[in-house]
Structure 1
Amino acid sequence: MDQIKWGIIGCGNVTEVKSGPAFNKVENSGLVAVMRRDAEKAADYAERHNVPKWYSSADDLINDPEINAIYIATPPDAHEELAIKAMRAGKPVYIEKPMARNAAECDRINEESRKTGVPVFVAYYRRSLDYFQKVKELIDNKVVGDVRFVNICLQWQPYDEEVGENAKPRWRVDPSISGGGHFHDLASHQFDFLEYVFGPVKYAAGIARNQAGLYEADDIVVANFEFESGILGNGSWCYTVNKEQREDVARIIGSKGRISFSFFEKFDIKVETETGTEVLNIPYPAHVQQQLIDQIVRDLRGEGKSPSTGETGARANLIMDWITKK
């Protein structure tokens, strides 16, 4: 492939800044068309982002002869069906995370990729961001010695639409659409990055419960996990604390120190060793998916390899299935 001409299925909020504009900013890449079931919203998005074409039918976009790669940015319940349709049309797919609702759906996507020879990529863009590359570099260079233990703590207050008399929780906490709740949406990023740094998780188990009753999905999860390397880890995720308790911190404990960083909200990396404490500040770029999209375009052009594929993307779903006992 020479020029990668993208079509987006599901041009919702995630595509407004994080991903959508990046397709036109990457060399040898361009956004040709977008699709949304609401034709008015599809047309509005196309106009605002200067996209030449829009559709209200996914099939019409997939079959557009001008498009040769497809970004699936719908909720996870549609990922498997749309990815398989696109691959059968011979078009590589870039799928929003999590890759699907569960590991079984991911496996079927990857099986179709092997069958058709059409590649799959997943939007685990932390594998490409400078902030997380620095965390990996610190670990690889043994700045804190040999890693012994990983700890994740994510505590958030409920979203406004999840509380009150007129509460209307969004699709992310409807397991039939998302596969789970906020844990599936956010922990997927965390486990994907941890495997990128430390290699495969060979064991994971946990307890997932709904304590507050604000929606159907689990709202609290605790877990233990072990990497094939022997590194151990644990984590806790709670989405019903008050805003004063809000916390997003991951800790890498080594034989000679500790690295603390944030997966979602802060740009600081704190490195503590016997020689003192250093704080590195590395902000995200304007379009957080641009660096990964650039690597995917290079992969499709035969100029490199994307760090995030269907095979790596499926792993996060498998680990979350183990933890929540899906």
Structure 2
Amino acid sequence: MKQIKWGMIGCGNVTEKKSGPAFSKVPNSSLVAVMGRSAEKAADYAQRHGVPKWYTSVDELINDPEVNAVYIATPPDVHLEYATKALKAGKATYVEKPMALNTAECEAMNQVSRETGVPLFVAYYRRSLPYFVKVKELIDQKVIGDIRLVTVQIHYNPYSEEIGENAQPRWRVDPKISGGGHFHDLASHQFDFLEYALGPIKSAQGIARNQAGLYEANDIVVANYEFESGVLGTGSWCYTLNKEQRLDESQLMGSKGKITFSFFEKFIIKVETESGVEEYNIPYPEHVQQPLIELIVQELRGEGQCPSTGKTGARANVIMDQIAGH
């Protein structure tokens, strides 16, 4: 493939800034068609973002002869169906995260990719974001020595639409659509990056509960996990605290120091060793998925390799299923 011409399924919030515009900002890449269930929304998205064509049918977009790569920007409940169609049509496929509802669906998607020989990528874009590239670089350079322990903490207050008399929680806390709750949405990014930076997690256990009853999904999860390297990890995720306790903090503790960083809300990486404290301020780019999309395009053009594939993307689901007891 010389020019990667993308068709995008779904015109939701994630596509407005995080991903959509990036497809036409990457060299040798362009977004040529979008699909939405609402003709009005699809047409509006196409008009605002300068996309030549829009559809209300998944099949029509996938079968558009101009489209040679498909981006699936929908909730996870249809990832398997749509990815299967795209792969069988011979279209390179890039799917949002989490990769699917569960481990079994991820494996089914990878099986189709293997059978067709068509590449499958997953939007775990932290593998290429400069902030996380720096964290991995600090680990690889053994700035804090040998890693001993990882701690992950996400403590959030409920979203406004989840509380009150007229509460209308979104699809992310409907397990039938998302595969879980906010844990599955956010921890998927965390476990994917931790495996990328520290190697495979060989076992994970946890307790997942719904304490507040605001929605069907679990709203609190605690976990322990062990890497094949011998590094141990712990984590706590709670989504029903008050805003004063809001926390997004992860730590890597090593034989010579500690790295503190944030997965979602801050741009500072803090390194503490016997020689002192050093901080790195690395903001995200305008379109956070652009660095990963660049690597996908390079791989499809035979010029490089993307670090986030269907094979690596499935691992987050494996770990979360072990923790949440799916």
Cα separation, 2, equivalents of 1:179 and 1:3: 35
Cα separation, 2, equivalents of 1:145 and 1:131: 20
1:198 maps to 2:198: yes
Matched to 1:25, the amino acid is K
- Counterpart of 1:17 in structure 2 is 17
Shift of 1:120: 0.2
Deviations 1:193-233 (A, max 9, x none): 00000111000000000000000000000000000000000
Matched to 2:308, the amino acid is S
- Counterpart of 1:108 in structure 2 is 108
Matched to 1:238, the amino acid is C
Q: How many residues align?
A: 326
Cα separation, 2, equivalents of 1:114 and 1:248: 37
- Counterpart of 1:230 in structure 2 is 230
Cα separation, 2, equivalents of 1:39 and 1:319: 38
Shift of 1:65: 0.4
Matched to 1:14, the amino acid is V
Q: Which blocks of at least 5 consecutive residues in structure 2 are unaligned? A: none
Cα separation, 1, equivalents of 2:218 and 2:115: 35
Deviations 1:13-48 (A, max 9, x none): 000000000000000000000000011000000000
1:28 maps to 2:35: no
Shift of 1:317: 0.3
Matched to 1:269, the amino acid is I
Cα separation, 2, equivalents of 1:125 and 1:88: 25
Matched to 2:75, the amino acid is P
Cα separation, 2, equivalents of 1:183 and 1:15: 21
Q: Percent identity?
A: 73
What TM-score comes out, normalization by structure 2 length?
Answer: 1.00
- Counterpart of 1:82 in structure 2 is 82
- Counterpart of 1:149 in structure 2 is 149
Deviations 1:1-20 (A, max 9, x none): 11000000011100000000
- Counterpart of 1:245 in structure 2 is 245
Cα separation, 1, equivalents of 2:265 and 2:21: 22
Cα separation, 2, equivalents of 1:126 and 1:294: 13
Aligned residue for 2:169, secondary structure, equals: coil
- Counterpart of 1:188 in structure 2 is 188
Cα separation, 2, equivalents of 1:285 and 1:160: 27
Cα separation, 2, equivalents of 1:310 and 1:84: 12
1:284 maps to 2:284: yes
Cα separation, 2, equivalents of 1:282 and 1:75: 29
Matched to 2:67, the amino acid is I
- Counterpart of 1:271 in structure 2 is 271
- Counterpart of 2:256 in structure 1 is 256
Deviations 1:135-194 (A, max 9, x none): 001010000000000000000000000000000000000000000000000000000000
Shift of 1:69: 0.1
Shift of 1:84: 0.3
Cα separation, 2, equivalents of 1:54 and 1:323: 40
Cα separation, 1, equivalents of 2:154 and 2:79: 26
Cα separation, 1, equivalents of 2:141 and 2:278: 16
Aligned residue for 1:283, secondary structure, equals: coil
Aligned residue for 1:18, secondary structure, equals: coil
Matched to 1:17, the amino acid is K
Cα separation, 2, equivalents of 1:12 and 1:45: 9
- Counterpart of 1:123 in structure 2 is 123
- What is the aligned-residue RMSD (CA, Å)? 0.4
Cα separation, 1, equivalents of 2:88 and 2:129: 31
Matched to 1:274, the amino acid is E
Aligned residue for 2:167, secondary structure, equals: coil
Cα separation, 2, equivalents of 1:187 and 1:75: 16
Aligned residue for 1:21, secondary structure, equals: helix
Q: Which blocks of at least 5 consecutive residues in structure 1 are unaligned? A: none
Shift of 1:279: 1.1
- Counterpart of 1:213 in structure 2 is 213
- Counterpart of 2:310 in structure 1 is 310
- Counterpart of 2:40 in structure 1 is 40
Give structure 1 regions of 4+ aligned residues with deviation exceeding 3 angstroms: none
Matched to 2:207, the amino acid is I
Shift of 1:252: 0.0
